[in-house]
Amino acid sequence: MLYTIIRLSHFLAIFVLAIALVINNMVISPTISDEDASNLVKVDNIFRISAALVALFGLALWLWVGKPRVFYGMNLFFQLKLGLFALAALLSIYPTFFFFKVRRDATRENAVPASVRLLMRLELLLLVIIPTLAYLMARGIGLSI
């Protein structure tokens, strides 16, 4: 029962993370208003909280109630998935700081650096790759025992 609750919580957090990331990518444009920046900060907060919950529930599945630790730890696709999740977390740092900075500025229109938009698009790409790796990992593909 606990396994089911944690697994469903993990999936729910993943869906919230995906929705927040898609919303951020839909709203971002070459210039944003201070109101847009404020809204982007709110959505980005939801994204960060859901990412933390994904990590927390994922760790619980890995170390506590899921399949044996060796099933995950020795799987190449699991290791890639963890690495890409960490990369996505690193990629999200600069856009987050940018949104906070723009929200505090008094200007009405703010230019969004191309690097912010690129990093957000890369996060979206990782959002497609990571579930594919999770699917392969869950099927035991990539297990090197």
- pLDDT mean over 67-85: 87
pLDDT at residue 106, as a whole number? 66
For 106, phi then psi, to 5°, come to -95, 0
pTM confidence score: 0.88
pLDDT at residue 56, as a whole number? 97
| Residue % of the chain over a pLDDT of 90 | 66
**Among 10, 2, 144, 24, which residue's Cα sits nearest to residue 79?**
144
The burial class, CB within 10 Å (0-12 / 13-18 / 19+), for 79 is middle
Residue 78 in this model has a pLDDT that exceeds 80:
yes
Structure tokens belonging to residue 40: 């982007």
pLDDT tens string 79-127? 999 999 999 999 999 999 998 888 877 677 889 999 999 999 999 999 9
pLDDT tens string 8-62? 999 999 999 999 999 999 999 999 888 888 899 999 999 999 999 999 999 999 8
**Among 56, 54, 53, 51, which residue's Cα sits nearest to residue 21?**
51
pLDDT at residue 145, as a whole number? 62
pLDDT at residue 74, as a whole number? 84
Residue 71 in this model has a pLDDT that exceeds 90:
no
